[in-house]
């Protein structure tokens, strides 16, 4: 039954998810929700940078379910130049690749977000700094891979490495059809983490849908307890939890969650 439901959710994504529409509708300008995510990511990587051991192999970062959106790895690119992005849909990977290969001409949509991050990094940031952080992000991306978080190896055998940090924004609760399947996605993704590595998740609590045009796309109704217990099952422990009330985001966004969350979980040494 779950498998059948998921097949239909996958085909909804394949047929209905349009990256251009998604960007226009959900990334038309910086709002409190984006600031919440970008600020918390900046804080995490600033802390990681201060703990960094200067010797040893480059730190590796993976984003699962990037969609067509390059902004959530900007802060990571200050910490490492070894970043892999990924998504389930070919059309999203294509759009992301377009941004990657086009250069500054493709940056216009993302400049307000990049400017915000550049200001977090330096008080003297200007318009040029926004371009520079996007260029840094571009240079840091090693590849954009297919990904399916429902598979026990979400990167489908395309990466034979474990990651120090995995980022996932509004993805797992969209990919899963049930609470049980949500637990499975977390276990699958956590399998790609190094022991003591960090899984950073952002998303919406208690929401059941979002829209692509007039198509209602289902999501599972997440609570903190569900996230906590799924992480525990996957051998991870929450070390940071922040929330932002939905009311602080633009009222016209076609979403129904009650709050956004930012969660960092650390994988235990022995799982
Ligand atoms: C709401 S979008 C979020 C995109 C982006 N991370 C953001 O925050 O704007 C949900 C994303 O999940 C991806 N997705 C859906 N099913 C998936 C699956 N089984 N495995 C990995 N990603 C999936 C979709 O392709 C889409 O890019």
Give the range of the structural domain holding residue 99, as residue numbers without chain letter.
2-48+58-267
Q: Which residues line ligand 1 (CB under 6 A)?
A: 13, 17, 65-67, 69, 87-89, 92, 147-150, 169-171, 174-175
Q: How far is the CA of 65 from the centre of ligand 1 (A)?
A: 4
- Ligand 1 atom with least separation from CA of 148: 20
> pLDDT category, 4, cuts 50, 70, 90?
low
User: Residue 175: which of 196, 134, 203, 138 has the closest Cα?
Assistant: 203
- The SS3 assignment for 38 reads helix
CA distance 79 to 76: 5
257-270 pLDDT, tens digit each: 999 999 999 999 87
How many domains, the chain? 1
109-126 pLDDT, tens digit each: 999 999 999 999 999 999
Q: How far is the CA of 92 from the centre of ligand 1 (A)?
A: 9
167-225 pLDDT, tens digit each: 999 999 999 999 999 999 999 999 999 999 999 999 999 999 999 998 999 999 999 99
How far, rounded to the nearest angstrom, does the alpha carbon of residue 60 sit from its chain's CA centroid?
15
Note whether residue 141 is domain-resident.
Answer: yes
Note whether residue 250 is domain-resident.
Answer: yes
How far, rounded to the nearest angstrom, does the alpha carbon of residue 82 sit from its chain's CA centroid?
16
Which of 18, 87, 166, 249 is the best mutation target for the ligand 1 pocket, counting ligand atoms within 8 Å of the beta carbon and taking the most?
A: 87
Q: What angle do CA 7, 13, 17 make, to 5 degrees?
A: 170
Note whether residue 53 is domain-resident.
Answer: no
Q: The domain spanning residue 212 has which CATH number?
A: 3.40.50.150
């Amino acid at each position: 039954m779950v498998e059948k439901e998921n097949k239909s959710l996958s085909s909804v994504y394949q047929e209905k998810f349009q990256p251009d529409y998604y960007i226009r509708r959900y990334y038309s300008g910086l709002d409190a929700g984006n600031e919440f995510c970008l600020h918390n990511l900046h804080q995490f990587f600033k802390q990681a940078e201060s703990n960094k051991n200067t010797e040893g192999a480059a730190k590796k970062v993976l984003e699962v379910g990037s969609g067509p959106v390059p902004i959530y790895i900007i802060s990571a690119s200050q910490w490492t130049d070894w970043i892999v992005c990924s998504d389930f849909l070919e059309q999203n990977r294509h759009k992301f690749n377009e941004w990657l290969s086009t250069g500054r001409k493709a940056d216009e949509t993302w400049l307000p977000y990049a400017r915000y991050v550049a200001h977090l990094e330096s008080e003297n940031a200007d318009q040029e700094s926004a371009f520079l952080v996007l260029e840094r992000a571009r240079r840091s991306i090693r590849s954009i891979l297919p990904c399916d978080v429902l598979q026990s190896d979400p990167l489908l055998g395309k990466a034979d490495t474990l990651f120090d940090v995995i980022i996932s924004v509004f993805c797992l609760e969209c990919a899963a059809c049930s609470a049980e399947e949500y637990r499975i996605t977390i276990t699958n993704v956590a399998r790609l983490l190094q022991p003591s590595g960090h899984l950073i998740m952002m998303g919406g609590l208690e929401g059941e849908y979002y829209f692509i045009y007039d198509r209602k796309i289902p999501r599972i109704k997440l609570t903190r307890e569900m996230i906590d217990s799924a992480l525990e099952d996957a051998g991870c422990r929450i070390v940071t939890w922040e929330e932002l009330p939905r009311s602080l985001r633009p009222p016209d966004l076609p979403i129904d969650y009650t709050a956004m969350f930012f969660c960092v979980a650390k994988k235990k040494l022995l799982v």
